[in-house]
Structure 1
């Protein structure tokens, strides 16, 4: 029995088309040209139909991966833009691909790491909530306000907040780094040096059990964090409140509780880099295929990227 009813392609050819498109970032029109060089004529529109059929067949497996990711005690989340054809307007619109990641290897868990993706036509908070539906525990994320409601208790039912925010030190560091590149500020350089000490501690506890990670963080990271906070507060009092450096400092200090939450839980990470790594292949593919053909194409892409 062939995968597509009344279709001619076997599973190996279908898998090759899908892997080439979503893993090797070869758009279907390029694949059509490659086959043509070998004397095989497969029109791009025909392969597009195959991809649609396979997305429908594989969607239950993608949903099972999503359930596994959402069951983790700590989840990483992020999103990125994807241009989508908008024929009625004669140009592209901006859709979003969201990802949620479960990766417990940094604290020695044997749970399989996985990521799943969702597509949406915009970036409203309802899509962030749909991505993380059913999640309980901690959420590693950037400062996107759409996640905010997930950190709050339900005022109608008094149910506790489903997630606790774990902010990302890579984001906080990047803002200070950008200031240093632009201005060569000695204070920004000193802040970066202190943050580098925190990352060095994390490198030393990677893969160790949660209890060992907590012990090391409380003994070594907590004093460095106290030193950094004192330095940032003192620096902020000396510089213009409207400067980019001040904005970078306030980004960190306004999220301090979320940025330091990892110290007391060995299952948590210092950064949201797991999610950033999960969206990196999408940005490469976006450069090659330029745009998705439709919202349905974006939804299919989310299923395939999940696999």
Structure 2
């Protein structure tokens, strides 16, 4: 739905009419999304999720078209910015832009009057790095005993990936829904060849590594005086026939904060291939 600049009308009034129509459509889509979100937790919430996602895409395309057609307006010299301040926890990099040391009008000496400070939000793309662990060997001149520090432990024994990379792969797959084959393609653009099978091995072994944490989380949630539970149907591939079947993701929540309890709230997820009563 991206707008082609050549297809825009040359007539100013027609262009204003088009912009007004798009603004009205944007507001309508926003209202529809808000209404769907209010009813998102009903029986057909999965279908509503798909509808909301589609509407969000349409809204984004319209907003892009609006920005493409609208000429940027320079703010007034002393206009008060209504933007939210940038987060304080972000690192700051200061660039000082000094004028000439002498007045360009009369050549006189300048004195400090003050300064204007403006902030620009920038993004530094994620990058790979190689950490080399060097373990020097020392030998005793008397008894020829060899001294060397043991090798640092790794999340995966003899594995290539560090903990930060493993965490990134897991979050990208399970939180951002980025399949492993797409991650492999993204890493290849950085000149790092990581096969999908390699990433799959890392995910499987990371699951084993995190199992004690998952068990502790399950124990914490299930030991509460009351537990909130629900299940969500999810489509999964059935092995062998290439078709999909409906599995279940069970959600268990412990949260007694509304009752004044200071015990940390937590959620534990459990997967089952069907909805038989033996699973909850």
Q: TM-score, normalised by structure 2?
A: 0.44
Higher helix share: 1
Q: Which one has more relative contact order, counting CA pairs under 8 Å at least 6 apart?
A: 1
Q: TM-score, normalised by structure 1?
A: 0.40
Larger Rg: 2
